[in-house]
């Protein structure tokens, strides 16, 4: 596949995009899975084909299909959504490498704590009007002050998976 992503402004298609988490608990015996329903994002592709942008996740929109757990995840023990309502990933560079790998370098901010973060996304499709990427990476929750761990039941690493579809902004 030859990819020629158009320069200009791009907007996240919220209806075709997902950000999910997976975390091992109960001493590694149970996988907790959840999704974030509230997503926004935009970016710009420059003349050289590199992209920059921001993805914003509504931290309070986390849904693990367990109301009690979701309330706890929103509390000060974890995401502290009253004081830090957004999780952001500021893309400093997104660069196509080969035919279907996108090297992404940026800054992840959770609970008001920002850390540099790099990952590789897979280019699923691209044309003049839309680009779709899949990504999976891990984050150490302790790097962001998420260190609550009753009886040592929780692993430190959380896996994030994302499918992000961006559409070209007209005009």
How far apart are the two ends of the chain, measured CA to CA in Å? 27
Q: What are the tokens at 112?
A: 């008001």
**Domain residue ranges of the chain, discontinuous segments joined by +:** 8-166
CA distance 71 to 60: 9
> What average pLDDT does range 13-19 have in this prediction?
97
pLDDT at 106: 98
Q: Which fold has domain 8-166?
A: Lipocalin (2.40.128)
pLDDT tens per residue across span 73-100: 899 988 999 999 999 999 999 999 988 9
pLDDT tens per residue across span 87-139: 999 999 999 998 899 999 999 999 999 999 999 999 999 888 999 999 999 99
Q: Which of 52, 20, 19, 55 is nearest to 40 (CA)?
A: 55
Q: Which of 119, 11, 104 is nearest to 50 (CA)?
A: 104
């Amino acid at each position: 596949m030859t990819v020629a992503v158009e320069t200009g402004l791009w907007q996240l298609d919220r209806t075709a995009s997902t950000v999910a988490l997976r975390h091992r608990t109960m001493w590694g015996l149970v996988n907790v899975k959840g999704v974030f329903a509230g997503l926004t994002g935009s970016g710009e592709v420059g003349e050289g084909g590199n992209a920059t942008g921001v993805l914003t996740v509504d931290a309070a929109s986390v849904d693990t299909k367990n109301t009690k757990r979701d309330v706890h995840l929103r509390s000060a023990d974890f995401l502290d959504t009253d004081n830090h309502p957004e999780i952001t990933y500021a893309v400093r560079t997104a660069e196509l490498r080969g035919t279907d790998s996108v090297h992404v370098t940026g800054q992840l901010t959770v609970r008001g704590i920002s850390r540099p973060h790099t990952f590789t996304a897979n280019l699923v499709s691209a044309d003049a009007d839309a680009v779709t990427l899949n990504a999976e990476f891990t984050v150490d929750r302790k790097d962001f002050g998420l260190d609550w761990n009753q009886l040592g039941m929780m692993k430190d690493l959380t896996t994030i998976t994302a499918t992000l579809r961006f559409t070209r902004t007209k005009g």
